[in-house]
Amino acid sequence: MIPWRQYLRSGDLLVLGLVATLVGASFPLLWQGGLADRAIIRQGGEVFATLDLHRRQALDVPGPLGNTSIQIEPGRARVAADPGPRQYCVRQGWLSQPGAIAICAPNRVSLEIQGRTKAYDSLSY
């Protein structure tokens, strides 16, 4: 039986502890890129509204084709209805990751989720 334990000196345990703490701390910090906490709604490239993702609410954004309906729930948001022909932004469903964005190009409306820290320019699925 190899006595692995006796090879570890007191300083080694210190280094091991420090390094393990560093790696352990990096998991939550780097893994999720912050929590989603607000939705940015743009119309024709201009910010139309900035909403907190803390309470339930709905918003209609007027565009050249009609109204795009945005629905907000705690921690997530979606485009509930859009007059565009292909419905890509509606089919994306609920967005909850910071950086995720749904773009309704025909009606010139976009819905973007942001966290405290901006991790990505955009995310698409």
Partner 1 sequence: MTPSVIELRVSEEDRLIARLTAMAVGLAVVDAAIPSPVPGIKPGLANIVTLLVLLKYGWHTAAWVTGLRVVASALLLGQIFSPGFFLSLSGALCSLAVLAMARHLPTQFGPVSLSLLGAFAHLAGQMALARLWLIPHDGLYFLFPVLGLSALVFGTLNGLITCHLLQDPAFKDDLHA
Q: Check residue 16 for interaction with partner 1 (CB under 8 A).
A: yes
Q: Check residue 125 for interaction with partner 1 (CB under 8 A).
A: no
Single out the residue of 44, 54, 58, 120 in contact with partner 1 (rule: CB under 8 A): 120
Q: Check residue 1 for interaction with partner 1 (CB under 8 A).
A: no
Least separation in angstroms between residue 87's CB and partner 1 is 30
Q: Which residues contact 102 (CB under 8 A, 6 or more apart)?
A: 78, 79, 88, 89, 92, 95, 110, 111
70: three-class secondary structure by DSSP: strand
Least separation in angstroms between residue 4's CB and partner 1 is 5
Q: Which range in 3-11, 57-65, 73-81, 105-113 contacts partner 1 by CB under 8 A? A: 3-11
Residue 47, φ and ψ in degrees, nearest 5: -70, 120
The residues with which 125 forms a beta bridge, in sequence order, are none
Single out the residue of 11, 46, 85, 125 in contact with partner 1 (rule: CB under 8 A): 11
Binding footprint of partner 1, residue count (CB under 8 A): 22
Question: Which single residue is written with the structure tokens 């859009």?
Answer: 82
Least separation in angstroms between residue 77's CB and partner 1 is 23
Q: For residue 34, give Cα distances in angstroms to 6, 114, 120.
A: 42, 9, 11
Rg (CA), the chain: 22
Task: Point out which residues bind partner 1 (CB under 8 A).
Answer: 2, 4, 7-12, 14-16, 19-20, 22-23, 26-27, 30-31, 33, 119-120
